[in-house]
Amino acid sequence: MDTMRDRFIATASQLLDEQPRLAVVLADISADGFAPARRAHPDRVINVGIREQLLIGAGAGMALTGMRPIVHTFASFLVERPFEQVKLDFGHQGVGGVLVSAGGSYDWPAGGFTHMAPGDVALLDTLDGWTVHVPGHPDEAEALLREAVDGDDRVYVRLSLQENRTARAVGGGAGFPVVREGRGGTVVAVGPMLDNVLAATEGLDVNVLYATTVRPFDAAGLRRAVGAGPGADVVIVEPYLAGTSTTAANEALAEVPHRVLGLGVGRAELRRYGGMDEHLVAHGLDPRGLRERITGFLRT
């Protein structure tokens, strides 16, 4: 099966043929994959080189002319390094675009901490008006990308090598659909964490919700899932910085007595880089680690 990044390149290349206002702006990353599209559309596939501030500025400049830019590189170079340009060139100027990242929190640990971005979604949370998609499968990445390019707003699509075995219906305002029903608490699995969450909660009497569009946060869906009982226990499992969505969950449940546990990537830097699977275990995001913490919190 192709990766999310493979599917992104193929889909974006096709969309360039179909939509004349679309452009792709790169900073060397994935340039080889877009080489055929660049030959076909040399004025709309632009590689600025390893100049991430220019990457964002060029994309926003295209948006000012009425184009719909897709801006792409690794997450650490797309959100963290040029954050001032994201804030000003897109946000302050009030223009839209589609930022598509690769690399996730630790897809390529051998690249070192410079290539890890567990804080990307939390950083975008400081800005207004961003839609954030976190697909869990290449089919979902394609669907969310196609939806994003049709609009004029600001969208971040976070791709990863970690993925679920099966794609699910996403986009179109689907919110947080219920994957498994229960009465002993609610677990929200974000994007590629769904398979591990389902394995971790096997046999437990809990709701499992699936979130691929995390901003805007589906407050109404979470309230429906916890029901009208005297209280609510919620666990949010995210593939990036732990606790990124706990504030949104607390606000959604402000009228309900509740507890929220945010699971995700810890703040401590793991300096012996290892592999992606080792990072999952180290952060307690493998099925065994998740089950221990979920059952300890929910007391199931």
Q: Annotate 263-275 with three-state secondary structure.
A: EEECCCCCCCCCC
Q: What is the pLDDT of residue 300?
A: 63
Count of alpha carbons within 13 angstroms of residue 226, beta-carbon side: 25
Question: What pTM does this model have?
Answer: 0.97
- pLDDT category, 244, cuts 50, 70, 90? very high
| pLDDT tens per residue across span 27-47 | 999 999 999 999 999 999 999
Average pLDDT over residues 275-284: 94
